[in-house]
Structure 1
Amino acid sequence: MNLILPSIFAADLMNLKSECDVLYEEGFQVLHVDMMDGNFVPHIAFGPEQIKNIKKQVNMKLDVHMMVSAPEQHIASVLDTGAEMISVHYESTPHIRFVIDQIKQHGRKAGIVINPGTDTFLLKPFLNIIDYILVMSINPGRPNQVFMEETIDRIRELKVMIGQRDIQIEVDGGVDESIASQCIEAGASLVVIGSYLFSNNKAHVKNLKSLEHRERKDERK
């Protein structure tokens, strides 16, 4: 089954609980949270204490995307938030295996994020220790960007590289309903959607939910 992950970055933070309650009632299970340090990316958003408070407010599981330098210095506090899924950028540290090991030892799902300019083959050494790969389809931490079309080919490359391993592919950045459909067709099973989903358009919500039940090409007999 595919999952559409609402991105908190597009939510009305003054009404976060009510917005997330509506999405939860519609069947959305996981909330995507961007943690930004103002160093690895230009903006600052959602530190560990804020994420911990979000966890207390919502009924959804949390998928924390660590856009921070030296994540090995922050992973303990992120684990303390209770987030069920935590991903770290390949580009952010030479100690990525240590960070992944910490996440796994605490029984959480661990992911590696790759920026648009990072070669997919660099993830090969980590395929036996991760649960998912987050493919950035825009440059991270910068708003109002357009989905990069080459992301579809990158998803296909990763799908071949993963083979029969139980690793999911997640996509984040500039995604709407049409692009989400293309990503799922290429092999993604987790798709992050922001403003398109938080637009209070019931048709968008309904159509995106229907994508969760669409078979990917590799699942068809």
Structure 2
Amino acid sequence: MRFDRSLKIAPSILSANFAELGAECRAIEDQGCDWVHLDVMDGHFVPNITFGPPVVKALRPHVRTVMDVHLMIAPVDPYISAFADAGADVITVHAEAGPHLDRTLQAVRAAGCRTGVALNPATPASAIVHVLDRIDLVCVMTVNPGFGGQSFISAMLPKIAELRSMIGDRPIHIEVDGGITPETAPDAFAAGADVLVAGSAVFKGGTAAQPTVYGENIAALRTSVEAGRRAAE
């Protein structure tokens, strides 16, 4: 997994057809996505239940790019090895999910995965200042986690910019998760994000059997970011 700050689109399969997840993962990759984002929810830390390690393991052969596994679960430590063994490339844990974030990140790294920390909207950027040298990614939640299709919380843009300044030259990705559309993507990228998680904005209107719409949706996100970048110059 090579580090760079170029724009990366990471469709969230939370918005895919769960009856055809393998085909959906292949379709979005064939249509130009960069990462595949898997939202794991436990019905406890967040008010929804999705899937666990067996589904991640079943999808691994269908994902050729980066398998980006976002654990919205608590406690998280007992499950790290299971998701690592299932094939996760990146394991992102929530800063709010346990009392020993540094220990959790060490466990993720020891399991052979890249480390990520997610911050809920009410959690300040300062929550990760003491673990910056242990992380490969910080995920800014721009909705309250638990469900897809929510509206982007624009008050998170200053947090993204603060994190970008805090990170400096460290090779740490800034990911934004929640409410990403062609309208909100340019602001998130301009604030400092390089990985944009998009669910319904990618999967709307398409199917695994007719995936060209996915490609059009991914292209629309890229085009909007590029247009915003040019306008800012």
Residue 77 of structure 1 aligns with an amino acid whose one-letter code is: A
- How many angstroms does 1:215 deviate by? 9.8
What CA distance in whole angstroms lies between the structure 1 residues aligned with 2:180 and 2:158?
A: 15
* 8 Å Cα contact 2:7-2:194 kept in structure 1: yes
Root-mean-square deviation over aligned CA pairs: 2.1
| Aligned 1:100-179 pairs, distance under 5 A | 100-179=105-184
Which of 25, 33, 38 is the aligned partner of 1:20? Answer: 25
Question: Which ranges in structure 1 are unaligned for 5 or more consecutive residues?
Answer: none
Change (3 A) 1:165 1:16: same
Question: Match of 2:72?
Answer: 67
Cα contact 1:109–1:131 (8 A) shared by 2: yes
- Indicate whether 1:97 and 2:114 are aligned: no
- Aligned-partner Cα distance in 1 for 2:68–2:221: 18
| 8 Å contact kept, 1:34–1:66 | yes
Residues 19, 120 of structure 1: CA spacing in aligned structure 2 closer, same or farther, 3 A cutoff?
same
Select which of 22, 30, 55 maps to 1:50.
55
Opposite residue 151 of structure 1, the aligned amino acid is M
Larger mean CA deviation between 58-67 and 40-49 belongs to 58-67
Q: Provide the rounded CA distance (Å) in 2 between the counterparts of 1:116 and 1:185.
A: 19
CA deviation string 1:50-108 (max 9, x = no partner)? 11111133333210100011111111111111110110000000122122112212332
Percent identity, aligned pairs only, is: 35
Partners of 1:178 and 1:185 in 2: CA distance: 12
Distance change (3 Å), C-alpha of 1:212 and 1:175: closer
Segments of 5+ residues of structure 2 without an aligned counterpart are 1-5, 207-212
The counterpart of 2:218, out of the listed 185, 202, 205, is 205
**TM-score normalised according to structure 2 size:** 0.87
Residue identity matched to 1:139:
N
- How many pairs does the alignment contain? 218
Per-residue deviation, 1:212: 7.8
CA distance in 1, matches of 2:228, 2:184: 15
